[in-house]
Structure 1
Amino acid sequence: MEEEIIDLAVRSGLPRMTARVHVDLLLSEDGRRTAAELTRRLKVSPASVSVAMNFLVQQGYFRRERDPQRRRDVYVVDDAWYHSIVISSRQTPESAHAATAAAQTYELESPVRQRLAKVGAFLEKVSLDMMESADRCRRLLA
């Protein structure tokens, strides 16, 4: 089952190492792992885990906590899916704005202008709908 989930993540665009780290942490009993634990479990270099976790934290899949007793970072599954949707829905309006701004540079009746304006409106609406849906469904993750 684990390999199937990894393959699905790879098909959706994650690098294989990042997918392996992602799945290992998701399937951990308490939803927590240190970089050293990930390195040991996956039999990979600390640098590989670091690159993967930096990406996954940046994308909102996990959060990083500092363990003051062991003086190391702990990666935690929290509202990972919710935060990932929020991050994505914040990035989509940037694309919408870019499409709308690009449309303004073409003549009023230009097919390119009309197409870009439609793309901008579409992306803006999808972004708003994603946020509303994530907020509405967040309780399912609790």
Structure 2
Amino acid sequence: MTTTPKETTGDEAASRFVERFAAEMTAAGMQRMASRVFAALLASETASMTSAELADQLRISPAAVSGAIRYLSQVGMVSRERDPGTRRERYVLHNELWYETFTRRDQTLTRWEKVLDEGAATLGTDSAAGRRIAETAEFFAFLHGEMAGIMDRWRAHKDAGAQEA
């Protein structure tokens, strides 16, 4: 397949974006290869790619793709689908990816808050450790309450945008 200069420039720009965003996610703590695969899926027109497509675009081995997909699947950011009529798997970003990711994070915060409350009660708030743990639980309770409001405002914002379109 021959590419025109515009396609090459677009491909190069997309590649630069993928690597830049992947570097940001890696700096935030995500595995490097998972960051690259996720960014490539995010930047793809269909939000889905096969293992071969990912390996080719990112210039990585199929084993590296497999490991990255395994991680991204475990954290609920990507799912696997079969290409109709083939045995190939296609890796797909979830719809409403960020909403779902932060909703799951909110559930994690709730679990942490519960454990921290129990820890504060166990250690007693008359000790420095107990007060520190109680304050951490209070922080997560605050964050949990704020997160619910943020998610509601996002949904309203998104719905308003859809009505304008």
Pick the TM interval, shorter chain.
0.7 to 0.9
TM-score when normalising by structure 1: 0.85
Segments of 4+ moved more than 4 angstroms: none
Offset from partner CA, 1:43-67 (integer Å, 9 cap, x none) = 2222211111122222232333233
* Shift in alpha-carbon separation, 1:54–1:136, aligned structure 2, 3 A: farther
* Shift in alpha-carbon separation, 1:55–1:134, aligned structure 2, 3 A: farther
SS in 2 for 1:13: coil
How far has the Cα of 1:80 moved from its partner? 1.1
Identity rate, percent: 32
Offset from partner CA, 1:14-69 (integer Å, 9 cap, x none) = 22211111111111011111122112222222221111112222223233323341
TM-score when normalising by structure 2: 0.75
* Shift in alpha-carbon separation, 1:72–1:128, aligned structure 2, 3 A: farther
* Shift in alpha-carbon separation, 1:134–1:73, aligned structure 2, 3 A: farther
- Kept after mapping to 2: 8 A contact 1:85/1:131: no
Structure with higher helix content:
2
How far has the Cα of 1:108 moved from its partner? 4.5
- Kept after mapping to 2: 8 A contact 1:99/1:119: yes
SS in 1 for 2:80: strand
In our comparison, the structure showing a higher alpha carbon Rg is 2
Of 132, 140, 143, the match for 1:126: 143
1:140 matched to 2:152: no
Amino acid in structure 2 at the alignment position of 1:111: A
In structure 1, the partner of 2:6 is: none
1:113 matched to 2:135: no
Q: Please show how residues 74-93 of structure 1 align to structure 2 within 5 Å.
A: 74-77=90-93, 78-93=95-110
**Partners of 1:108 and 1:132 in 2: CA distance:** 30
Ranges in structure 2 where 5+ consecutive residues have no aligned partner: 1-15
- Kept after mapping to 1: 8 A contact 2:124/2:131: no
Q: Please show how residues 1-142 of structure 1 align to structure 2 within 5 Å.
A: 1-2=16-17, 3-77=19-93, 78-138=95-155, 140=158
The count of corresponding residues between Structure 1 and Structure 2 is 142
Ranges in structure 1 where 5+ consecutive residues have no aligned partner: none
